[in-house]
């Protein structure tokens, strides 16, 4: 129960930060490096979503029916969609150099970390093989974290 509530808080932090970054003009930049990073983030998110197949999205952390997904980007990182969200917001915030942009980006990042930790705990309970998978993949950055 508490994990689902915390995961909802994480989702709200991510969504609220992302929407506010966009509305305040602190998300999008025409800087080529930012455009490249944000394009890579979108590609990663779409690839991960495609790899999940017909599994539905939940506001709270909910393991879905079926098998543990370990294909596509999930072969090398456990949370490619949250990684993509962070990869999308940080370059925009860095390009705008403002304290509100950094605070909102940190809010998105903290929300993503909360979601990841909640999901990992629930996935480990739902899929016995999850801990083995977690030992051979990194959480967000391949070969690093």
Q: What is the number of alpha carbons within 13 Å of residue 87 lying toward its C-beta? A: 20
CA–CA dist 24, 121 (Å, integer): 35
Rounded to a whole number of angstroms, the distance between the first and last alpha carbons of the chain is 28
CA–CA dist 16, 134 (Å, integer): 29
Q: What is the value of pTM for the model shown?
A: 0.92
| pLDDT band at 57; cut points 50, 70, 90 | confident
Q: Nearest 10 degrees: CA dihedral of 46, 70, 66, 124?
A: -110
What's the pLDDT at 145?
64
CA–CA dist 46, 28 (Å, integer): 19
What's the pLDDT at 53?
86
Q: Is 142's pLDDT higher than 90?
A: no
CA–CA dist 96, 44 (Å, integer): 23
Domain boundaries defined on the chain: 10-53+66-136
What's the pLDDT at 119?
93
Q: Is 134's pLDDT higher than 70?
A: yes
Q: 76-116 pLDDT, tens per residue?
A: 999 999 999 999 999 999 999 999 999 999 999 999 999 99
Name residue 77's beta-bridge partners. Answer: 138
Q: 2-42 pLDDT, tens per residue?
A: 888 999 999 999 999 999 999 999 999 999 999 999 999 99
Closest CA to 47 of 39, 35, 59: 39
């Amino acid at each position: 129960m508490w994990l689902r509530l915390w995961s909802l808080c994480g989702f709200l932090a991510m969504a609220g930060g992302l929407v506010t970054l966009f509305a305040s003009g602190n998300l999008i930049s025409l800087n080529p490096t930012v455009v490249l990073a944000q394009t890579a983030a979108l590609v990663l998110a779409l690839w991960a979503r495609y790899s999940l197949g017909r599994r539905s999205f939940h506001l709270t952390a909910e393991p879905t029916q079926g098998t543990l997904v370990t294909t596509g980007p999930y072969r090398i990182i456990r949370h490619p969609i949250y990684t993509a969200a962070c990869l999308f917001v940080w370059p925009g915030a860095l390009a705008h150099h403002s304290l509100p942009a950094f605070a909102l980006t940190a809010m998105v990042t903290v929300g993503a970390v909360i979601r990841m930790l909640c999901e990992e705990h629930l996935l480990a309970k739902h899929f016995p093989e999850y801990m083995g998978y977690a030992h051979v993949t990194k959480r967000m950055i391949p070969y690093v974290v």
